[in-house]
Structure 1
């Protein structure tokens, strides 16, 4: 009989002490793992397939049916995803109601419980409620504003415009490092369009000016140039408000921009196209396996080489290998994977009853992937420090549990007991390490915008996609009846 079994057979108390010492660490970790690392279903693939087939109602049904699998900790994520799919399905009132719940959840999540923070420190940040990124909070109000605008309810849309203004002003006041995300060119631009649609030229000009400044300030990381339409808007509204100094400044800045005065556009109708193109970026794990001994270094190099890629399919194997070795600490950090659209632009064409045709090209208004990249890069230093501290804490607890079990087992059984307990506790520590990869994935990669002014009347509207995704979308052919001074908002989704 081996020393381990001999010791345990003659000393039941030693067996009990070993088991208790091992489970003191392993049970809480194991129970939390069942919560944090539950089965993962790639619902977003099914959503994208439905949207690509032009079936937005099916995409919304997929999100709705998955409500329980989101779980309470991802309530905000569910509301944001559902709000977007409801908008694409044309269910604008329902979309706004769900996104209103998302806003309330954002406010509620400003406070966290000590218990939740402790669990996250012991396991990973996936056990915390998802709070969303700052740009996602702004996008909640952007999507709501578009819901109301698409229904022609511009006074309600202006409520969202004021909320956008408040949210961005708070960000500007609280963010000390002005290189961080605190302004949003597209959100400001949209508020300007909404104000102008209601005849509020003064607030429209202010919003357009703030949009221009945001686009210019964020140009290096947002990868979004100032839209040509916005330059024309600044010239037109400055002229309409008789702001001579501002008008001359913008004429100097935009010498090649064609524009029409407000008098020339009086009585015309406007069509605004919002095109959601491509798929939002997603996050994956980047595992860093840190060896604490020469043997551990050799093991890591044999097992992974110099790769830091995600290896979810081998997590069980890694947990056993590193648990047996006992001298490898795993750290998981999120890495952004972009999915760039193949459609760089669209052409909006309006054909009147008389055969008169007006065509305008869309422009990039918002680069969601750039926003996500900026947000992650800003948070990554803090995420890294927290992940390293968590890994060190897990290792220390594993060491303590292993030594305690060895002392409880006695001299003869200590090596075997230490091996078993190390495998259990350190293996669980490796297996439980996972980055927080949650994000609002029903957003697009880019948002494009086109604006056309036409005489009132009936029009056949169509949208031609440019680039490799060339062709017409199912939603792009519509009949529009436009009244004098009316603003019509069209929303389309392009998966390519």
Structure 2
């Protein structure tokens, strides 16, 4: 095959895939970095609008998630709801396995010649679960409690279905075990800590349990609190929630919970409850590692996504203004979920990598043979082919990067009235507490800037 025909073939497959070239040669984290930087300040501009053009492209699902999250962080819950609806629709389209389009075929073919970034983005399970969790909060803070219940049910269903899917995939993972896979999985496993699966998210379970309880469905709340506690067993506020609901519902586990964690505190007359959901920092971006090598004298490279060890710790938030300092406790490490998701995806990524290396080696060999047949032709085509192989081998570093790194929880009964609460002796916000009701405070700390949102239920 002549070099000209090769280029035409690749460009044709790219046009079929609908690739916008955004992540093909420019890594995704560098595209999102300016947006994250702007979220770290008091910007009033609709930052999410800059994603509008990308939502119609091959990575539309990812950009819709980012736009929805940016709008949500900025407090525009209606705009966030609209973007999340687009992302949910994209996931449902992926679920329709009966539809095999030319664009799907084109994207898969292109990935063999270029890199995985031309494959339309379909987020890992934990992203989809958090999408519905966040959509539920959008509905709640927009005053639509029934819409919130619909979304929390979807979040729960997805956690169950993702668990079943993962268990089925484990057989194929085990069958592909080799030194390279084992070494990388071991490294990612150490980085993820005690997190064993990406789809079991204590933050999502707690949020769904909290919304169930606030909306009068205590039995469902108890079930989800127990699931959250199995994943995050050391959170004292979650322990107290279990004791309190087990007592309220006359559950047989009440005596055991009381023995282990003490009896639950109860509101006194005239008191209301403050529940704080605190999100801190941003989830880390994927990095890449590249290994150069030669096949039949032609240079090739192999690039895969990875996460580097991160020694930066997230401090527990200190909530002031409610009497004694209220110390938040970690509920879920979203960064560990992201690392575990990459670990689960690694075997299939390596299969695609092996196929790509073979395809590129075959192309290089073909160009080299063609060049030798033509006496007047130089080795320019061979050199160009090798350069093409090197520069197009880019790791797929796409992921939802405006998610928090960690979620924390705090809960307290206080007398009704107005309070000026603060986080870590810095940012403050006035909230109201009513007798017999719950004030839900959602604090989003992006690192250098903190936003407070509250609602009485």
TM-score interval, smaller chain: 0.7 to 0.9
- Separation of aligned partners in 2, 1:430 and 1:121: 13
Report if the CA contact (8 A) 1:278-1:446 is conserved. Answer: yes
Where does the alignment leave 5 or more consecutive residues of structure 2 unmatched?
171-195, 449-457
Q: Could you list the per-position Cα deviations for residues 125-147 of structure 1 after superposition, in whole angstroms to 9, with x for gaps in the alignment?
A: 11111111111111111212222
Q: What is the match of residue 398 of structure 2?
A: 438
- Does 1:247 find its partner at 2:254? yes
Shift of 1:406: 2.0
Q: Which residue of 1 aligns with 2:245?
A: 237
- 3-state SS of paired residue (1:137): helix
Equivalent pair of 1:84/1:442 in contact (CA under 8 Å): yes
Per-residue deviation at 1:124? 1.1
Identify which of 67, 82, 92 aligns with 2:52: 67
Contact 1:358 1:454 in 2 (8 A): no
Question: What is residue 284 of structure 1 aligned with on the other side?
Answer: 287
SS at match of 2:307: strand
The corresponding residue for 1:312 is: none
Give the drift of 1:154.
3.4
Q: What per-residue deviation string (whole Å, max 9, x for no partner) do you get for residues 4-37 of structure 1?
A: xxxxxxxxxxxxxxxx723222343467499363
1:90 has 2:78 as partner: no
Greater shift in the superposed pair: 199-208 or 67-76: 67-76
For the 8 Å contact 2:371–2:382, the answer to whether it is kept is no
- The 8 Å contact of residues 278 and 444 in structure 1, kept in 2 or not, is answered as yes
State yes or no: 1:369 paired with 2:335: yes
Cα distance change on mapping 1:196 and 1:34 into 2, 3 Å: closer
RMSD of aligned Cα (Å): 2.7
- Name 2:443's counterpart in structure 1: 491
The 1:453–1:154 alpha-carbon spacing in structure 2 relative to 1, beyond 3 Å, is: farther
Distance 1:68 1:39, change over 3 A: farther
Secondary structure at 1:442's aligned position in 2? coil
Q: Residue 25 of structure 1 contacts residue 401 of structure 1 at CA under 8 Å; is this kept in 2?
A: no
Query: What residue is the counterpart of 2:264 in the other structure?
Result: 259
The 5 A counterparts of 1:34-183 are 35=21, 37-38=24-25, 42-55=30-43, 57-58=44-45, 60-61=46-47, 63-68=48-53, 72-110=57-95, 111=97, 113-176=104-167, 180-183=197-200
78-87 or 143-152, larger mean C-alpha shift: 143-152
Matched residue SS, 2:234: coil
Equivalent pair of 1:51/1:493 in contact (CA under 8 Å): no
Distance 1:213 1:266, change over 3 A: farther
Q: Secondary structure at the match of 2:59?
A: helix
Contact 1:278 1:339 in 2 (8 A): no
- C-alpha separation in 2, matches of 1:93 and 1:394: 47
The offset of 1:328, in angstroms, is 2.3
Instruction: Report the equivalent of 1:302.
Output: none
1:462 to 422, 431, 435: 422
C-alpha distance in 2 between matches for 1:237 and 1:484: 16
Are residue 274 (structure 1) and residue 277 (structure 2) matched?
A: yes
1:227 corresponds in structure 2 to 235
Q: CA deviation at 1:38?
A: 4.9
Q: What is the rounded CA distance, in whole Å, between the counterparts of 1:130 and 1:398 in structure 2?
A: 28
Q: Where does the alignment leave 5 or more consecutive residues of structure 1 unmatched? A: 1-19, 216-224, 294-325, 352-356, 465-470
Superposition TM-score, scaled by structure 2 size:
0.81
Question: TM-score, normalization: structure 1?
Answer: 0.75
2:358 equivalent to 1:392? yes
Give the SS at the match of 2:61. Answer: helix
1:69 to partner: Cα distance: 5.3
